[in-house]
Amino acid sequence: MLENKFMNAVGFFEGLPIDNHQSFIDEKKIVPKPSPNDLLVKVSAVSVNPVDTKIRQNSIKRNALQVLGFDAVGEVVSMGEKVKKFKIGDRVFYAGTTTRSGSNQEYQLVNEQIVALAPKSLSDEEAAALPLTSLTAYELLFEKFGIIPEKNANKGKNILVINGAGGVGSVLNQLAHWAGLEVYATASPKNFEWLEKYGVDHPIDYHDDLKESLRKLNVQEFNYIAVLFDISSYIEQIKHMVKPFGHVGTIVGVHEPLDISEWKNLSVSFDWEYMFAKTDHEYEIETQGKALEKISKLADEGNIKTSLSKVYSTGINASNIKKATQDVENGHMLGKVVISGEFNGGEFNGGEFNGVVSLGE
């Protein structure tokens, strides 16, 4: 039984610069108890996303340990009495939620509806790179844009992806290509090989004038435009690049109003995508588990590749999470960075509760 046992966790008490020795610390928590619809997962690999850094940087000082981490792979070790989809010993992956303690802890509670069996063909590290970015890409393409989520079902249509070499872009390009779209994507020329490996038909140098680059490729308009960057700096360039009844979407917030009035008479749709909106507002959360089932199947069939690019494999602890977070904060990373192994931040290896630790999930 895990109840009243200690577990290792990595967290912080206030949002400090990453080079501060208290930005992440190794702590102890009590293993949480599953609610009726929860899985208790022993975490074996996690990844760091830009949202992790934003939440930490904006966090105020608290008395309770704040545990981040969204992407995770692990083994189901306990579950609530209403769980139906999983069994003890299942290897699962998921992107978690902002409303509960994260995956940077040895044992994590997660609602079964947002979980799927991890791809059998991928290692823990490879699978941990997928959930958050693949859900973001899947929801933008197939739910917001209305693209048919079937192989080659959208032939004859095209998509322009701004910032195509990042974590989300690396999955979105592959899903769009699998669905039959002709994929154009921007990046630095040094990353063109990466783009082509991950489903892009036409790499575009983001340094060059976009309109001129597209003219050389003999294309002027797109059915879909996905801007995986602050769209404010691109809005004027793309205003006349979307076809009537097309879609433009972004995943990054803006700090100034956007003038999209010119799209009104074209019946162009503008879509925001925020992967955590469903769990933040308890809206159709089961669709995320189903989407991850699809992602897992596509990975096992070889239709999509993991976007893993870097691994810290000597254990999940404050030191390695700091290093991975610095990689993300420095920017210009291809794909995803993952931390894997045992939680080894402290010397305590379990036992009965006999001291003061951080409580809660």
CATH no. of 145-272: 3.40.50.720
- Domain map (residue ranges) of the chain: 6-133+285-340, 145-272
Q: What distances in angstroms separate CA 239 from CA 85, 147, 148, 268, one per listed residue?
A: 45, 21, 25, 10
CA distances (Å), origin 277, targets 96, 253, 345: 12, 14, 32
pLDDT in 10s for each residue of the chain, 361 residues: 687 799 999 999 999 999 999 999 999 999 999 999 999 999 999 999 999 999 999 998 988 999 999 999 999 999 999 999 999 999 999 999 999 999 999 999 999 999 999 999 999 999 999 999 999 999 999 999 999 999 999 999 999 999 999 999 999 999 999 999 999 999 999 999 999 999 999 999 999 999 999 999 999 999 999 999 999 999 999 999 999 999 999 999 999 999 999 999 999 999 999 999 999 999 999 999 999 999 999 999 999 999 999 999 999 999 999 999 999 999 767 889 999 999 997 544 343 333 334 445 6
- Residue 189: both structure tokens together: 């020329």
Residue type (1 letter), 221:
E
CB 147 within 8 A of CB 176: yes
Quote the pLDDT of residue 4: 75
pTM for the structure as a whole: 0.94
- Taking the CA of residue 350 as centre, how many other CA atoms within 13 Å lie in the half-sphere pointing to its CB? 7
| Radius of gyration in angstroms for the set of CA atoms belonging to the chain, rounded to a whole number | 21
Residues 6+ apart with CB under 8 A from 299: 119, 121, 122, 127, 130, 305, 306
Q: Which long-range contacts (CB under 8 A, 24 or more apart) does 171-174 make?
A: 171/130, 171/133, 171/134, 171/136, 171/137, 171/198, 171/304, 171/307, 172/136, 172/137, 172/140, 172/141, 172/226, 172/228, 173/198, 173/199, 173/200, 174/198, 174/199, 174/303, 174/304, 174/305
6-133+285-340 under CATH 3.30.390.10, yes or no:
no
| Whole-number pLDDT of residue 331 | 78
